[in-house]
Structure 1
Amino acid sequence: MASRMLKFTSINPTMPEKRAAEARRSDFQEIYGDYAQTVAEDQAARCSQCGVPFCQQGCPLSNNIPDWLKLAAEDRMEEAYQVSSATNNMPEICGRICPQDRLCEGICTVEQSGHGTVTIGAMERYITDNAWEQGYVTPIKPPREREQSAGIIGAGPGGLAAAEQLRRKGYQVTVYDRYDRGGGLLVYGIPGFKLEKHIVERRIKRLEESGVRFEFNASIGETHKLSDLRDEHDTLLIATGVYKARDLMVPGAGCEGVHKALDFLTTSNRKGLGDDVPEFENGTLDAKSRKVVVIGGGDTAMDCVRTAIRQGATSVSCLYRRDRANMPGSQREVANAEEEGVVFEWLASPEALIDDEGGKLKAVRAARMKLGAPDPSGRQSPEKTGETFDIEADMVIKALGFDPEDLPQLFNEPALTVNRWGAIKVDFATLETSLPGVFAAGDIVRGASLVVWAIKDGRDAAESMHKRMKQMARTASAAPVAAE
């Protein structure tokens, strides 16, 4: 068969069809359609099959991107799925929510050559969605069952990835989560227009069909003791993520109408899932007919502004203290938000929240900024120009990032050590914590980060847990049997 690859000079990059902004801003369905098979094959064929694949180096999971693109271009879709899923436990989710412009696509050789990036994320999504449709994705059947068990605290992407890896090796796995559903921020934090919830639900169902046990509404330190879980399981993984919102330290920050980003997003997602949500029903966390200002420039801020648009806000503005080129969020998400009617105030930082005599928010006073000398990270530091301006607002959403909760206190386990930022300390070679046999992975170790990094950490932790339990089994089998 003649090679179908290296077509980047004759085939232009094409994303799946995107729904018109006017249509999509009124619902929470995903904004991108699906590739037709012939289009998908053509887009995969644009890959240059680099001898040194920079896209793979730009991926935290080191996905074998050129390999599964070549297989897809040759219509070997089941093989493409097998290669893609060998390194990633949820490729269709990463294909939807990874900031590919900052990772694999941003470093793509074809992109650097000026021909436009290979649409890696869209192809990753297409390959696995097709695999689900064709029945290639099946429950895990370990080659043999092991008696040893592993407990996982947290049903987010890191915990789910670890659960799958351990179950593949035949371990008995139980996942504990404080919420009433699995998925963590995939379900409660990320809006449906980026990731429809049935995509996550089918992953949970597959794990259940594979023999993974889930215990929901399980709060460690309340309904379950960490010490009991350590006794019950041979190894334990903490993959709770980080949920403590950073606060807004300006005058008026406590006035009525100021909310945390995660509260706003969780309320919206629960409403979409059909839950009874009093905070939405009474209007507290519903942006309908409100003048909304979101403060922050990351992906969470983008989720908030686009959710407010869909809830029917009168106006939606986003304040960010640096310029567009220096914002941490995905540029693709910014473009989508602008199309949907969000107004961005670049180089603007909140100075005060202004309320009326009754304590209700009525405006945000912001300072105009300029970029000065680089800070220790190399980014230019924002500096005030002396100019201020007001934006009318009756709802402010704080999207300033997240810090770890105080897990030693929550878990009633003071021997669990954390660093000065509150993240769990681990041996980075094994991800083992200060508690023997207890491991940690994802945001609770590295700080708020990307889903793809949580998956990577979950896989690495599972491998360390496997090594620990294998060694325990060897030690037990070598122990002398006491004479009767």
Structure 2
Amino acid sequence: MAEKMLQFVRLQQRQPDKRDAGERRADWEEVYRPFAQEAAATQASRCSQCGVPFCQVHCPLNNNIPDWLKLTAEGRLEEAYEIAAATNTFPEICGRVCPQDRLCEGNCVIEKGFDSVTIGAVEKYITDTAWERGWVKPPKPAMERGQSVGIIGAGPAGMAAAERLRVMGYQVTVYDRHDRAGGLMIYGIPNFKLEKDVVLRRQKQYEDGGIEFSLNVAVGRDVTLGELRNKHDAVLVATGVYKARDIANPGAELPGVVAALDYLIAANRKGLGDAVPEFEGGALNAEGRHVVVVGGGDTAMDCVRTAVRQGAASVTCLYRRDKANMPGSMREVKNAEEEGVIFEWLAAPEAFLGGTAVEAVRAQRMHLGLPDATGRQQVEPIAGALFDLKADLVIKALGFDPEDLPAAFGEPELGVTRWGTLKVDHRTMMTALPGVFAAGDIVRGASLVVWGIRDGRDAADQIHAYIQARAECPAIAAE
């Protein structure tokens, strides 16, 4: 190990080569070029193999990161892939979209003084290599079980649960209201962060493994939850959260003021070759327009960088806190700045101005005050500090809340929390309805892909325990 690892003392951190900002503004390809094998092995060798790996501790999936870094440094890539895939259903996706600067890399023990190991880039390299060399196989169980599980939602949590349950031998059907599997991975995240064939090949892999996808099916409209409960031995609700948080400022109803998800879905559908009337008619197309995006999370970064690629005349991000308090990934902020996005820090929308359509955003300068009960500084307006930004397309990227699932599903017994998320027993992940489980953002609230994967895998284990307990004890099954 001494020969292959601990090389951080002599080797500098190096990310994969980043494409020039001018080049990437003109297309939808990913920002970073792939690692070459030698470069990936060299960067993996910088790992200190520490006794308490904080990278692993701070990964929601507790990935065995030091192990697959060591195997990569030694050129044992197939073994590295097996280790990565043992804990992560989609390592190639997490390598692309996880905010490593806040998770594994941000907690790397060599970060102070030597810069962290490039964990995300190596993870992406390992799994992309595995796909190229045919090491990624469809989920095949050692034995088939007679019981079936219905999963509502084909996003990260639903897909992760489906794969794990299929490996256990269950008959799995995934229901989704969209026409493609992947949830926000397919329609919410732009191509320059996650190319769509990366997601779609997983759907194909799962179908080859016997997982059935029932798409364009909305529960409550095309099928009832009761029908799914009668059809399957257990049901998992993994719908995610899609209800956009709105803003009540004057002029918010003006044409040209749109929700972030509507804008991103239109852009992604266009990239997939679909007919998108709202895009083709100009309502959800930033080309030639002055765009203002309100918000500071990763969704806001997706919107500003999408607008740049659509050929916007100008793109401004309006965020009420400062850069240090921005919830989005700092890498994404840096990429956006390189691509020409203007950031108006400590500024919040006061009103949207215009006649028949939005023409400007009136914004209020803010300052950070004393911390609140959570320890985060409060935001307070500066008296009289108003200014106007020219805008004929305003995108609201203020986050997402849960839809009213009890009403949508026609199941008032489904309990919800005060935030509108589904209420579950966190030990079993079961809702108030016997045999109906829930996982992912619909329980946790809007979060990361990696947390969705974690929740889906955990839910699969709880569903397995529930079904097996009923199979082994007739008294439980009769309840």
How high is the TM-score relative to the length of structure 1?
0.97
Moved over 3 A (4+): 476-480
Residue 421 (structure 1) shift: 1.2
Match of 2:270 in 1: 271
Match of 2:58 in 1: 58
Task: Report if aligned partners of 2:430, 2:438 keep a CA contact under 8 Å in 1.
Answer: yes
Match of 2:408 in 1: 410
Match of 1:372 in 2: 369
2: distance between equivalents of 1:33 and 1:124?
14
2: distance between equivalents of 1:59 and 1:458?
15
Match of 2:207 in 1: 208
* Secondary structure, counterpart of 1:409 in structure 2: helix
2: distance between equivalents of 1:376 and 1:208?
48
2: distance between equivalents of 1:52 and 1:67?
13
Structure 1: gaps (5+ residues): none
* Secondary structure, counterpart of 1:351 in structure 2: strand
Residue 430 (structure 1) shift: 1.2
Match of 2:121 in 1: 122
* Secondary structure, counterpart of 2:293 in structure 1: strand
Q: Which amino acid aligns with 1:226?
A: L
* Secondary structure, counterpart of 1:421 in structure 2: coil
- The alignment yields a C-alpha RMSD, in angstroms, of 1.3
Match of 2:382 in 1: 385
2: distance between equivalents of 1:411 and 1:196?
32
Residue 5 (structure 1) shift: 0.3
Residue 27 (structure 1) shift: 1.2
Match of 1:248 in 2: 247
Match of 1:44 in 2: 44
Task: Report if aligned partners of 2:471, 2:477 keep a CA contact under 8 Å in 1.
Answer: no
Question: 1:285-313 CA deviation, whole Å, 9 max, x = no partner?
Answer: 00000000000000000000000000000
Residue 475 (structure 1) shift: 2.1
Q: Which amino acid aligns with 1:87?
A: T
Match of 1:420 in 2: 418
Match of 2:324 in 1: 325
* Secondary structure, counterpart of 1:391 in structure 2: strand
Residue 477 (structure 1) shift: 11
2: distance between equivalents of 1:8 and 1:249?
51
1:440 to 424, 438, 447: 438
1: distance between equivalents of 2:401 and 2:477?
45
* Secondary structure, counterpart of 1:461 in structure 2: helix
2: distance between equivalents of 1:226 and 1:86?
32
2: distance between equivalents of 1:201 and 1:254?
36
Task: Report if aligned partners of 2:67, 2:83 keep a CA contact under 8 Å in 1.
Answer: yes
2: distance between equivalents of 1:302 and 1:416?
34
2: distance between equivalents of 1:199 and 1:466?
28
2: distance between equivalents of 1:68 and 1:427?
34
Residue 478 (structure 1) shift: 11
Residue 171 (structure 1) shift: 0.4
2: distance between equivalents of 1:307 and 1:22?
14
1:449 to 435, 447, 450: 447
Q: How does 1:68-107 map to 2 (within 5 A)?
A: 68-107=68-107
Count of equivalent residues = 477
Question: Is residue 434 of structure 2 the alignment partner of residue 429 of structure 1?
Answer: no
Higher mean displacement: 129-138 or 293-302: 129-138
2: distance between equivalents of 1:479 and 1:349?
55
Question: 1:78-108 CA deviation, whole Å, 9 max, x = no partner?
Answer: 0000000000000010000000000000010
Question: 1:388-428 CA deviation, whole Å, 9 max, x = no partner?
Answer: 11100001000000000000000000111101111000001
Residue 360 (structure 1) shift: 1.3
Match of 1:238 in 2: 237
Identity of aligned residues (%): 64
Question: 1:245-264 CA deviation, whole Å, 9 max, x = no partner?
Answer: 00012111111110000000
1: distance between equivalents of 2:53 and 2:476?
46
Q: Which amino acid aligns with 2:6?
A: L
Question: Is residue 218 of structure 2 the alignment partner of residue 219 of structure 1?
Answer: yes
Residue 141 (structure 1) shift: 1.7
* Secondary structure, counterpart of 1:101 in structure 2: coil
Question: 1:273-331 CA deviation, whole Å, 9 max, x = no partner?
Answer: 00010001111100000000000000000000000000000000000000000000000
Residues 92 and 379 of structure 1: CA distance in aligned 2, closer, same or farther (over 3 Å): same
Q: How does 1:11-50 map to 2 (within 5 A)?
A: 11-50=11-50
Residue 3 (structure 1) shift: 3.4
Question: 1:14-39 CA deviation, whole Å, 9 max, x = no partner?
Answer: 11111101010111111111111011
1: distance between equivalents of 2:111 and 2:439?
33
2: distance between equivalents of 1:424 and 1:140?
29
Task: Report if aligned partners of 2:469, 2:476 keep a CA contact under 8 Å in 1.
Answer: no
Residues 364 and 478 of structure 1: CA distance in aligned 2, closer, same or farther (over 3 Å): closer
Match of 2:7 in 1: 7
Question: 1:178-199 CA deviation, whole Å, 9 max, x = no partner?
Answer: 0000000000000000000000
2: distance between equivalents of 1:22 and 1:48?
36
